[in-house]
Structures are given as structure tokens and as C-alpha cells.
Chain A
């Protein structure tokens, strides 16, 4: 059923399928980033709860790792942008 719909869409305008794929890719990248950073945030908060004196060091580490994860998600977002502008 789904395949039939996809085949019809490709027949009429193939370019639309590329943008559809790009949109799904960007959404998946967002989910991946959200999961990763959420896990980091959870462990960081748990660590601070166990040892409040280490709050400064834990916060710094959490920010660094969050930025690295976000970079990977943004790689994917940039590629999806390139696809949707057909470069």
C-alpha cells in the first residue's frame, strides 16, 4: 500500500522524493541528538546529586560532550539541507 503511494509520487515528480528523504533524515538526526544529549544530561545531574562539590567539573564536561554530540547531528542536518537545495 505504502509502496504503491511512493511509486505514484516518484512517477509524478521524482524531485519531491529527495526532499522527503531529506526531511526524514533531519528529523532522525534531531531524534539522535536529543537521545544522546538527554542521556548525558541525565548522568550529569545524577553525578551532581551524588557529589555536589564536583558540580563545576561535571557541568564543564557535560557542556563539552553536548557540543560534540550536537556537531554530529548538525553534520546530518547540513547534508539534508544540501539535498533539499539540490547542491
Chain B
């Protein structure tokens, strides 16, 4: 069964690459009426102004940093090498529209009644303000997430298969490399923190760890998408932990929220709001911790490289490159640590939710 899954996934990867080129055959835009002489002169004037604006641009480091950190409708691997990604829009009157984001490469970034607004983040807005349009596009972050999902599935199905084949024998090859990490997470993170019923939550926690790890590491490559630095992604991961904790929490957990053990009545009035805020603060801190660590790391690295362009001297480049190399090593360490901390805290929250009558501070 696994061989067919790998074959299917490889074909899916190739097919996805081909599908990205299909939107090039999208519908033609609305026809404009023919230009008059006045229109022609106006256009020439606009073009001269436009060229003047773009010819002598001072290096804007804020814009450069935001461009590399924010999401985008095309994937820019380096200057000039961009992969236009499909734009998928849904509106009540026009239904689903799919076209390539390369269609927005004209003068005013406008196509078929939609504007592509280049701000701090790219937004697609309809020209007619009254329509509501839902943007389901495959943006840079979505494409990066699909890529890392495919990588994870390929890696772990191959490891699963080699575990089945090497049953009773010593692991070899890639399987033995991943075994160290998997056993570390199982024995040092999940088992002590979740408690005796850890096996039920092990798939979720292992997936969480490897998903965050591989996306953190992929984000460090040049020309990559900053996926775990997108607060929507980290919010989803924190929400998943919240759901897992609260679906599996037993009566003890909920009882302790409204009556923490060993607290006298006057203090209870303060303790109950604190406990309830704590329920929401824990996933919120998970979300902000991962987002801030990844985004701050990228911003620091980009600022360092931007320094070279601000000073505009060749002499400063080797110094900054050495410093940036050092920082990149720290970022790799932070990538591992953040994945580990997210998994550790998630397992601690799950453990405290499914804990049985263990505390000695009840009095019963």
C-alpha cells in the first residue's frame, strides 16, 4: 500500500506543478473602447511620470523587509525569477474565478475588475467597492505549506515502511536518523508530560513537532516563504492544541477551573477570572511565541543584509556576512527549540487536562 502512496504523491507533485501553468489560459478581460488622440497624450504623460518615479529610488529597507516576510500572490525565488501562482477568487455574482497572478503584471496592477494592491501585504480588491470577494488563492505561504506537507508525507511513509520491513532487526539508513528524534520526543517530551495515556496523543504531537520543525528550517533557505512567521498559521496550530485539550479534558479539569483546590472563598472571586483568562492565554502565548520568534529572526537577518545596501560599500559586506552566518546558526537552533517548546507545552497542557485524581491538596 505504501509504494502506491509514494507513487501517487510523486505524480501529485508533478501534476501540481503543471496545474500552476494552466491558469495562463484564463478568460480574456473586458474590451476597452478605442483610444482617441487625447487619451494617447494622457497615457504618454502618465508613463513619463511613472518612469521618473521609478528611476531614482532610494533603498527603502522597511519595504524590502516587509516584501520578504509578508505573503504574496507570486513566489519570488530571487530577483527576476518569479513563479506566478494561481489566484482563486469567489464572489456571489461571478462565482469562482481562477487565473494566474501574472495577469496583474500590467501598469496599474489591474485585471478583469480586480486591483492587486501592493501595501505591506498584497491584497486583491474589486474595482467596484460594493462587491464582496473571498480570496482563496494559492499564495506563497500556501504553496510552501503544500510542499512541506508533501515532503513530510514522503519521508514518514518511507520510515513507516522500513519499520514494517525491518521488524525485529536493527534500523538502518534514514530510518535510524529519524528514530533518534522520534524517540527523543516520545520518551523525553510526551511520555513524562502527558502521563500514562500518552499513546493516544502521540500522533498529533509528533506531527506538530515535525510540521513546525520542517517549516522553520525551510523558511531559513533563500527564496523561501516565511510560513511559521505567519500569524494565521500559528493561530491554527494553537487552536488545534486548544481543541485537543478541551475535547479530551476530564471532569477534574473543568471543576478545577471554577473551584481551584485549596483556595479560600474570598480569594475565589479573583481566582476564577484568572483561571478562565488562563484557559485562553495558554494557546495565545503558543501562537505569539512561535510567530514572534520566527518573524524576529527573519527581520534581524534581513536588516543585516539591508545594512550592506544602506552603506553601499564593498568593504562592509564580508563583516556583515560573517555576522549573518553566525546569526543563521542561531536561527537553526531557534528553529529546533521553538518546535520543541511548542510540542512540550502542548503535551503539558494535554497532560494537565487528562490528569486523574493525583493531587494531594484536595483533602478528599
Interface residues of A (CB under 8 A from B): 60, 63-64, 67-68, 70-71, 74-75, 77-78, 81, 85
Contacts and interface: CB of A to CB of B under 8 A. Distances in A.
B288 A78 contact: yes
Nearest to B286: A71
Nearest to B337: A67
Nearest to A75: B288
B292 A64 contact: no
B296 A74 contact: yes
Contacts of B337: 63, 67
B285 interface: yes
9 contacts: A67-B289, A67-B337, A67-B341, A70-B293, A71-B289, A71-B293, A74-B293, A75-B292, A81-B299
Nearest to B188: A60
If over half of A's interface residues share one DSSP class (helix, strand or loop), that class is named, otherwise mixed; here it is helix
A71 B292 contact: yes
A64 B289 CA distance: 13
Nearest to B291: A78
Interface string B291-308: 111011001000000000
A29 B36 CA distance: 61
B241 to A, nearest CB: 15
Question: Which among A60, A68, A70, A85 has the highest number of chain B CB atoms within 10 Å?
Answer: A70
A77 B296 contact: yes
B344 interface: yes
Nearest to B292: A74
Contacts of A67: 289, 337-338, 341
Contacts of B179: none
Contacts of B288: 71, 74-75, 78
Contacts of B296: 74, 77-78
- In the A-B complex, the 5 residue pairs with the smallest Cβ-Cβ separation, listed nearest first, are A74-B292, A71-B289, A67-B341, A78-B292, A67-B337
B293 A64 contact: no
B120 interface: yes
Interface string B328-345: 000000000110010010
Given A74-B288, A78-B291, 19 more contacts: A60-B188, A63-B337, A64-B341, A64-B344, A67-B337, A67-B338, A67-B341, A71-B285, A71-B288, A71-B293, A74-B289, A74-B292, A74-B296, A75-B285, A75-B292, A78-B295, A78-B296, A81-B299, A85-B120
A57 to B, nearest CB: 10
A12 B299 CA distance: 30
Nearest to B288: A75
Nearest to A74: B292
A71 B296 CA distance: 11
A31 B154 CA distance: 44
Contacts of B120: 85
A22 B238 CA distance: 27
B314 to A, nearest CB: 30
